[in-house]
Structure 1
Amino acid sequence: MKKKWQLVFVLFLLLITTGCLYPNDRLAKNQVSNDLQLQTVQQAVESYREAKTGLLPIKNRNSDTPIFIKYPVDFNALKQNGFLASTPGNAFEEGGFYQYVIINVETNPTVKVIDLRMTEKLRQLNVQLEMYRNKHLYPPFGEMISNGVYNLNHEKIGLDEPPYVVSPYSQDNLPIVIDTNGELFIDYSKDLYRALKDFPNDYEQGDDIRYILAEQYPFVPAYSLPYTIKDGEPVFFKE
């Protein structure tokens, strides 16, 4: 029996020292997007743009696609033209958690990422929401937060607790809200409030303050409504 446990212990040590507790490809694909990966893709995008006289390696999306998810990076275009050796292991295309996108395409094309775990949570909620809408005339509105923005009445769609996603900025739980059209969004108010306090800015009422998150962090505030600033705090800016 003693020899058996000694063998188990030795095998455990081997697993740790060789990094095989998890497959290497899983570790690579699921790690948080880091500066080196973003810089590598950023440089490839800039080289492509220079070589292609201003064109960007992006996939086509509908014109009404929300701005922060509108321009996914086309890794095939970068690789086929010799600007990138391989797709980052943590990218969606490689089975990872992150969708690489480009923001500020007209002025200063910058590579950022979307945490697709938030995307999946919204997808699951939308399935439940669709089932509810098939039986009811109005969306499951809860308390009104702002003009045209409501808390989601989670009980009406069969949930015991209000749904949330984990913030890629703070790891806080961010609520899900619903607009008058029955569309779901992530409420980034907590992250925006913190960013406005932590980073110098000159935002005024009427400005879209979501860009403070996109500029200061690797992540974009995907699936968000516009926000502006009022009395130093973030508020929904829904027309």
Structure 2
Amino acid sequence: MKFLKLLTLPLVALVLTGCLYPEAQLEKNKMPNQAQLDAIQKAVDQYKQQESGLLPIKTKDQDTPIFLKYPIDFSKLKQKGLIGEPPGTAFINGGHYEYTIITPEDNPTVKLVDLRTAEALRSLQLKVEFYQQENKYPPFNEQIAKGVYSIDYGAVGLEEAPTVDSPYSQQMLPIYINDQGKLLIDYRKDLYEYIRTKEHSYQTGDDIRYLLTDYTPFSPAYSVPYTILDGEPIFMSELPS
């Protein structure tokens, strides 16, 4: 999977070219496979059973976005003898991915977040925050939806509107900004395709981001809730009251 059409900070460039890792690790760190996911899912299920419903997760702030809120603590799985080493694709073992859990109460399910995207967003977030400190307001451009704006990319030193490669398709996904100056990725392109091509029962008012996790190992990180209206994805904030 290729990632990022954004910034050129040295750290991001190093991650993308693999220069941070020994040559022998490049292939194993490239992309998680189903066997790795299944092994960690099995370990999580066993841990939950042994620990009376507790999950092997790191503690995050209460306001952490839902798809980033429950990262797996591999040390807890290892201490219980449920795994040997974390997968080579896991960030803790030199890979590009954070293994996380979604729907922890109902059906704890292991999913992935690509940390190369996270690093690029952090780099852009610094530019946004510097602009906001200098100008007293974020670099808003056009309003996309209620509380969502495109970025005045020229104002933060970019030559074109920032995007990232989708983990779900070959499409480029826009990066927008919310009222508080925080960045978000717009997954509506992928959601539209999944609504049309995948079997589902999501209705207006449901958070349809889970449609993406129903069919892939990736979480739609750095997003806001969407729902479905007249067969198309919309920001939840745009739902008529």
CA contact (8 A) 1:68 1:222 kept: yes
User: 2:184 corresponds to which residue?
Assistant: 185
The aligned runs of 1:104-119 (5 Å cut-off) are 104-119=103-118
Determine the C-alpha separation between the residues in 2 that align with 1:54 and 1:221: 26
CA contact (8 A) 1:28 1:90 kept: yes
Deviation at 1:147, TM superposition (A): 1.0
User: 2:54 corresponds to which residue?
Assistant: 55
Q: How many residues matched? A: 217
Q: Tell me how large the CA RMSD over aligned residues is.
A: 1.1
Q: Which has the higher contact order (CA 8 A, sep 6+)?
A: 2
Runs ≥4 residues deviating over 3 A: none
User: 2:10 corresponds to which residue?
Assistant: none
The aligned runs of 1:64-75 (5 Å cut-off) are 64-75=63-74
Report SS of the residue matched to 1:205.
coil
Determine the C-alpha separation between the residues in 2 that align with 1:183 and 1:23: 36
Determine the C-alpha separation between the residues in 2 that align with 1:194 and 1:32: 23
Q: Could you tell me the percent identity over the aligned residues?
A: 50
Report SS of the residue matched to 1:168.
coil
CA contact (8 A) 1:225 1:238 kept: no
Matched, 1:123 2:134: no
Matched, 1:167 2:169: no
Which amino acid in 2 is paired with 1:28? K
Deviation at 1:53, TM superposition (A): 1.0
Deviation at 1:156, TM superposition (A): 1.0
Which amino acid in 1 is paired with 2:37? L
CA contact (8 A) 2:184 2:224 kept: yes
Q: Deviations over 1:20-39 (max 9, x none)?
A: xx82222212x211110000
CA contact (8 A) 2:207 2:227 kept: yes
The structure with the largest alpha-carbon Rg is 1
User: 2:25 corresponds to which residue?
Assistant: 25
Which amino acid in 2 is paired with 1:70? K
CA contact (8 A) 1:128 1:157 kept: yes
Which amino acid in 2 is paired with 1:196? I
Deviation at 1:209, TM superposition (A): 0.4
Q: Deviations over 1:54-82 (max 9, x none)?
A: 11100000111111010000100001110
CA contact (8 A) 2:129 2:138 kept: no
**5+ residue gaps, structure 2:** 1-21
Q: Deviations over 1:93-123 (max 9, x none)?
A: 0121100000110010000100111101101
**5+ residue gaps, structure 1:** 1-21
Which amino acid in 1 is paired with 2:23? P
Deviation at 1:171, TM superposition (A): 2.8
